[in-house]
């Protein structure tokens, strides 16, 4: 005899019935799971941390695969995000894994704009999903969900406390994505130092109201595990893809002259716990929270921007029409304005040109007058010169005549000369 | 009378020589009596081969002073390294700020002085720490306080040198700057490059890779190569050890080349004492679940080499380079700047008086309209 728990929250006209035999709808979860498994899951991890903290290595260690990330240099002028998508398969479960890595985070001298590209990327993914949701003909069940499900924030192993950029960035991101802080390269820190460091970070996170991802404790099956995990945050991890043989077994480790750090050993680092917490136990909860909390938050903000709100009680359709009308009116008004401005400008230009033409005309006249004056002057001078020449000739002939009279001969030279 | 005096002088000289010969013998023949002392045919030892001993005694009596500056971002182990180097915990009472306080923190200068005594040799050590470097979100100009501090110490020394009473000049000039490079990284960061570019002509920079227990042997080699390549690329001149003389023995030369090959030094510091794995001795080190790191073990890190370099062999050379090269550069620049500033002030006055007329503005307006009219003329001409 199967019994059914009283479902809370139903109205008075819903009766709960006790079943007398096996109906069979207890296989619903299995049907759901089978359908999802056939579709495949998608999971998007974002890794934020300074260059050289081992983000790529940790992802490779987590998924036990070599992804061939290229290490970035320190001289990137602005933070950039590089998403890579991979298809993984474990058992019969297909996973579309997208890894988004920051490059150049914390390298610039002025780090004030470091978080902007990250926030833009997260919002862009939410926006894409929102657009898909609002489409008339949409295909949500085949849509490749690129929203960021979890953000691993890598803290540098200084041993003192969080850096200022860590705090500021986490504060900006805590309402948009699930943050799990991890201490990178934690094989630098001894056990007592690590405890102090973790306590200090936990205090700072609490004091500054940073809402990192809380592992869910309401489900009994996982609540115990998750409460242990909660105390371990931030996870102190060590990543390595190199294998060495220890005690006859091959395991991933980092070999030092003074010993070897085994990545898979719980006594050496928290890597195994991180993998459990993130992948084995809470992966679905992370996706759920991204959709139910962060995405809804974004959607509400965005629709409020667009002018929709819950108080007007208008359907989406009517809101759209109204919006469109106002928008059109606005456009028309702007067009009118521009046209008027154009006319005014053309008039001004015409006046200017006219004035310039007038100026040109007067200048031309002046130059012409000047030219005429000079010409006249030259003419006068020429006349003067001609007269002088004539005078000179007359004098010459007179002198010659006198000479001729004096000598008594007459020549015709003067005549020919006169020619 | 003059000759009499001269005679006296001559006699006293010979007496003095005699005395020095005596004392020379009484010392026990420790100083070398190389055959070639004195003029030809004189077997009298003058005794100036004693000079090094005299200098030694005087220096021991006077004591030494050394100023060391450590620069690097918080959490790289600077204080721990200083404590390990000098076997003293200088920073017991230090308080570390939280992340909120660091958002807008500026670089501060923190000087601590200690006096150390080893086998009668006294060392007055000043350690200049720079808390707050690279802590804030916007680290623009965070190197300015450090640069100013070094310039101020030079200026102070310069003024003291020019002063009337020069007996008791205290030398605050920074003799060596240890620059800590983070091991989590692929080389030098932009801020490292910026700072070193501004300081390399003012102080001896010795780059150090901090917290070297983060790196495996292969990674350490890679990082050292990359740091050296970056330094080369940005043309930063770090401290270069002087070449060994040919008459130094094999041992020193080998040591020297060892140390030179190690730069930048990869160090680990520790304030705790642990038991070493192979010898069972108690030394400074760090205890991990997977092993014990010994600070002074040359196979684990370059700390021992750094100590020999800094305290054992090159301390005097660092001081000399600071005195002869960096300080002299500063001095020359300072003096020429002052000269040119005075000349420049006079010249500037004259020029401002000249440019007070307004014809310049009108001229430009005229040129414009002329150009415009010419354009219009051309248009009309072409339109025709």
Residue B181 maps to which CATH number? Answer: 3.40.50.300
Do the chains contact at B288 and A190, CB–CB below 8 Å? Answer: yes
**For A277-309, what is each residue's pLDDT tens digit?**
888 888 888 888 888 989 998 988 888 887 766
> For residue A323, what are its two tokens?
């919006």
End-to-end CA distance of chain B: 116
Q: Hey, is the C-beta of B294 within 8 angstroms of any chain A C-beta?
A: yes
| Closest by CA position to A114, among listed A60, A77, A151 | A77
Rounded Cα–Cα distance for residues B176 and B182 (Å)? 19
A261 touches chain B (CB under 8 A): yes
Residue matched to tokens 């077994």:
A249
Cβ–Cβ contact A268 with B under 8 A: yes
Distance from CA of B129 to the nearest CA of A (A): 17
As a whole-number percent, the residues of chain A with pLDDT over 70 amount to 92
Reading the block at residue B382, the tokens are: 């072409």
- The percent of residues above 90 in pLDDT, for chain A, comes to 26
- Choose among A188, A208, A360: nearest Cβ to B373: A360
Domain count for chain B: 1
Which residues have CB under 8 Å from B248's CB, separation 6+? B256
Beta pairing class for A41-48 and A93-103: parallel
**pLDDT at residue B18 in the model:** 38
Any domain includes B134: yes
B372 falls within a domain: no
Average pLDDT over residues A82-99: 86
Residue to test with chain A: of B77, B214, B295, B376, most A Cβ within 10 A: B214
Residue B15 domain flag: no
User: Any chain A CB within 8 A of the CB of B189?
Assistant: yes
User: Is residue A352 predicted with pLDDT exceeding 90?
Assistant: yes
B330 occurs within a structural domain: yes
Q: Do B289 and A74 touch (CB under 8 A)?
A: no
**Residue A272 burial by CB count (10 A; 0-12/13-18/19+): exposed, middle or buried?**
middle
Phi first, then psi: give them for residue B310, nearest 5 degrees: -75, -45
Q: Is A200 exposed, middle or buried (0-12, 13-18, 19+ CB in 10 A)?
A: middle
Range of the domain at B86: 55-335
Q: Which residues in chain B touch residue A113, judged by CB atoms under 8 angstroms apart?
A: none
- Most B CBs within 10 Å: which of A113, A195, A258, A349, as the mutation test of the B interface? A258
What one-character-per-residue DSSP string does A88-120 give?
EEETTEEEEEEEEEEESTTTSSB-TTTHHHHHH
Domain contains B382 = no
Q: Using 50, 70 and 90 to split pLDDT, how confident is the model at A365?
A: very high
Q: What is the mean pLDDT of chain A?
A: 84
State the pLDDT at residue A353. 96
Categorize the per-residue pLDDT at A310 as very low, low, confident or very high, splitting at 50, 70 and 90: low
How far apart are the CA of B57 and the nearest CA of chain A, in angstroms?
Answer: 44
Smallest Cα–Cα separation from B285: which of B80, B75, B76?
B80
Q: Which residue has the higher pLDDT, A256 or B380?
A: A256
pTM: 0.72
Q: What pLDDT was estimated at residue A308?
A: 66
Residue A366 CA to residue A361 CA, distance in Å, equals: 9
pLDDT at A398: 92
pLDDT of residue B31: 41
Higher per-residue pLDDT: A153 or A27: A153
Q: Does B326 touch chain A (CB under 8 A)?
A: no
- Complex ipTM more than 0.85, yes or no: no
- CB pairs below 8 Å between A and B: how many? 143
Q: Does B286 touch chain A (CB under 8 A)?
A: yes
Could you tell me the two tokens for B250? 């094999």
> Of A177-191, A202-216, B95-109, B131-145, where does mean pLDDT reach its minimum?
B95-109
Inspect the interface and report whether the beta carbons of A158 and B377 lie closer than 8 Å: no
Q: Which of B76, B194, B380 sits opposite A109 (nearest CB)?
A: B194
- Tens of pLDDT along chain B (384 residues)? 444 334 343 343 444 443 333 444 434 334 444 444 444 555 677 778 888 888 888 888 888 889 999 998 888 888 888 888 888 777 766 777 777 777 777 788 888 888 888 888 888 889 998 888 888 888 888 888 899 999 999 988 888 888 887 777 788 889 999 999 988 888 888 888 888 998 988 899 999 998 988 888 888 988 999 999 989 999 888 888 877 666 667 887 888 888 888 888 999 888 888 877 677 778 888 888 888 888 888 888 889 888 888 888 888 888 988 888 888 888 888 888 888 877 766 666 555 555 544 554 455 555 556 677 777 777 777 765
Question: What is the spatial order of strands in the sheet that B273-275 belongs to?
Answer: B273-275, B282-288, B291-294
Flag whether residue A349 sits within 8 Å of chain B, measured between CB atoms: no
B296 and chain A in contact, CB less than 8 A: no
Place A333 in a pLDDT band, splitting at 50, 70 and 90: very high
* A260 min Cα distance to partner chain B (Å): 6
Cβ neighbours of B310 (radius 10 Å): 18
pLDDT of residue A345: 95
DSSP 3-state percent helix, strand, coil across chain B (nearest 5): 50, 15, 35
* CA-closest candidate to residue B151, choices B179, B165, B172, B129: B172
In the DSSP assignment, the letter for residue B308 is I
Report the relative pairing of strands B282-288 and B273-275 from DSSP bridges: antiparallel
Dihedral angle sign, alpha carbons of residues B102, B105, B107, B108: negative
Amino acid A368: pLDDT = 95
Structural domain includes residue B383: no
Domain presence at residue B43:
no
Q: Which two tokens stand for residue A211?
A: 């809402």
Q: For residue B326, what is the DSSP state?
A: I
Residues of B in contact with A190 (CB under 8 A): 286-288
**B228, part of any domain:** yes
- List the single best residue of A49, A71, A73, A74 to mutate versus B (max B Cβ within 10 A): A74
List the 339-368 stretch of B: residues with Cβ below 8 A of A.
none
Can you tell me the mean pLDDT for A356-361? 95
Does B188 touch chain A if contact means CB atoms closer than 8 Å? Answer: yes
Q: Which tokens is B96 given?
A: 């570390």
Summarised one tens digit per residue, pLDDT across range A264-274 is: 888 888 898 88
């Amino acid at each position: 005899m199967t019994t059914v728990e009283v479902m809370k929250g139903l109205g008075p006209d819903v009766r709960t019935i006790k079943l007398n035999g096996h109906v069979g709808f207890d296989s619903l979860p299995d049907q759901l799971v089978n359908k999802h498994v056939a579709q495949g899951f998608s999971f998007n991890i974002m890794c934020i941390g300074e260059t050289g903290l081992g983000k790529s290595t940790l992802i490779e260690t987590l998924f036990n695969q070599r992804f061939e990330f290229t290490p970035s240099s320190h001289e990137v002028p602005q933070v950039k995000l590089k998403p890579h998508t991979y298809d993984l398969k474990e058992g019969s479960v297909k996973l579309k894994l997208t890894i988004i890595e920051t490059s150049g985070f914390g390298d610039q001298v002025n780090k004030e704009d470091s978080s902007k590209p990250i926030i833009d990327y997260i919002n862009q993914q939410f926006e894409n999903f929102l657009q898909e949701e609002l489409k008339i003909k949409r295909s949500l069940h085949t849509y490749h969900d690129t929203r960021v499900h979890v953000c691993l924030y890598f803290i540098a192993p200084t041993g003192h406390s969080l850096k200022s950029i860590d705090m500021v960035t986490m504060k900006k991101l805590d309402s948009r994505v699930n943050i799990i802080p991890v201490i990178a390269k934690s094989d630098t820190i001894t056990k007592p130092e690590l405890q102090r460091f973790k306590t200090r970070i936990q205090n700072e996170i609490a004091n500054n109201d940073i809402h990192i991802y809380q592992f869910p404790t309401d489900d009994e099956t996982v609540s115990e595990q998750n409460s242990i995990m909660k105390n371990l945050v931030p996870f102190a991890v060590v990543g390595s893809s190199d294998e060495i043989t220890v005690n006859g077994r091959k395991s991933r480790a980092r070999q030092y002259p003074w010993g070897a750090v085994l990545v898979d050993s719980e006594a050496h680092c928290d890597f195994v716990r991180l993998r459990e917490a993130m992948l084995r136990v809470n992966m679905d909860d992370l996706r759920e929270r991204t959709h139910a909390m962060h995405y809804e938050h974004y959607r509400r903000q965005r629709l409020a921007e667009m002018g929709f709100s819950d108080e007007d009680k208008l359907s989406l359709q009517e809101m759209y029409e109204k919006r469109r009308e106002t928008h059109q009116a606005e456009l028309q008004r702007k067009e009118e304005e521009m046209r008027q401005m154009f006319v005014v400008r053309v008039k001004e230009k015409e006046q200017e040109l006219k004035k310039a033409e007038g100026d040109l005309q007067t200048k031309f006249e002046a130059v012409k007058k000047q030219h005429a004056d000079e010409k006249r002057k030259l003419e006068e001078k020429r006349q003067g010169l001609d007269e002088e020449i004539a005078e000179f000739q007359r004098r010459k002939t007179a002198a010659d005549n006198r000479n001729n009279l004096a000598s008594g001969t007459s020549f015709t030279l003067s005549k020919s000369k006169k020619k | 009378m003059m000759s009499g005096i001269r005679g006296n002088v001559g006699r006293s000289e010979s007496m003095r020589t005699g005395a020095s010969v005596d004392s020379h013998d009484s010392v026990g023949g420790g100083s070398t009596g190389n055959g070639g002392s004195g003029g030809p045919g004189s077997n009298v030892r003058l005794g100036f081969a004693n000079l090094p001993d005299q200098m030694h005694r005087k220096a021991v009596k006077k004591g030494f002073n050394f100023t060391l500056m450590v620069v690097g971002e918080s959490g790289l182990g600077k204080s721990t390294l200083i404590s390990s180097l000098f076997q003293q915990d200088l920073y017991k009472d230090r308080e570390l700020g939280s992340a909120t306080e660091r958002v807008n923190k500026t670089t501060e200068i923190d000087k601590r002085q200690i006096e150390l005594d080893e086998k009668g040799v006294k060392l007055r050590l000043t350690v200049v720490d720079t808390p707050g470097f690279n802590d804030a979100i916007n680290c623009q100009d965070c190197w300015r306080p450090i640069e100013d501090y070094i310039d101020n110490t030079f200026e102070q020394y310069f003024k003291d040198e020019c002063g009337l009473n020069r007996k008791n000049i205290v030398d605050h000039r920074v003799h060596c700057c240890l620059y800590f490079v983070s091991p989590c990284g692929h080389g030098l960061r932009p801020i490292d490059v910026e700072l070193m570019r501004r300081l390399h002509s003012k102080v001896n920079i010795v780059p150090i890779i901090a917290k070297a227990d983060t790196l495996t042997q292969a990674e350490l080699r890679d990082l050292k190569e990359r740091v050296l390549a970056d330094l080369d690329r940005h043309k930063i001149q770090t401290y270069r050890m002087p070449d060994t003389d040919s008459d130094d023995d094999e041992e020193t030369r080998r040591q020297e080349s060892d140390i030179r090959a190690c730069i930048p030094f990869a160090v680990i510091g520790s304030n705790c004492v642990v038991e070493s794995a192979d010898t069972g001795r108690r030394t400074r080190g760090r205890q991990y679940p997977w092993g014990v790191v010994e600070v002074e073990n040359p196979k684990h890190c370059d700390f021992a080499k750094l100590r020999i370099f800094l305290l054992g062999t090159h301390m005097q050379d660092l001081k000399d380079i600071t005195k002869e090269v960096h300080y002299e550069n500063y001095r020359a620049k300072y003096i020429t700047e002052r000269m040119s500033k005075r000349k420049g002030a006079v010249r500037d006055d004259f020029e401002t008086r000249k440019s007070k007329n307004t014809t310049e503005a009108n001229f430009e307006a005229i040129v414009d309209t002329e150009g415009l009219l010419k354009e219009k003329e051309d248009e009309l001409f072409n339109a025709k």
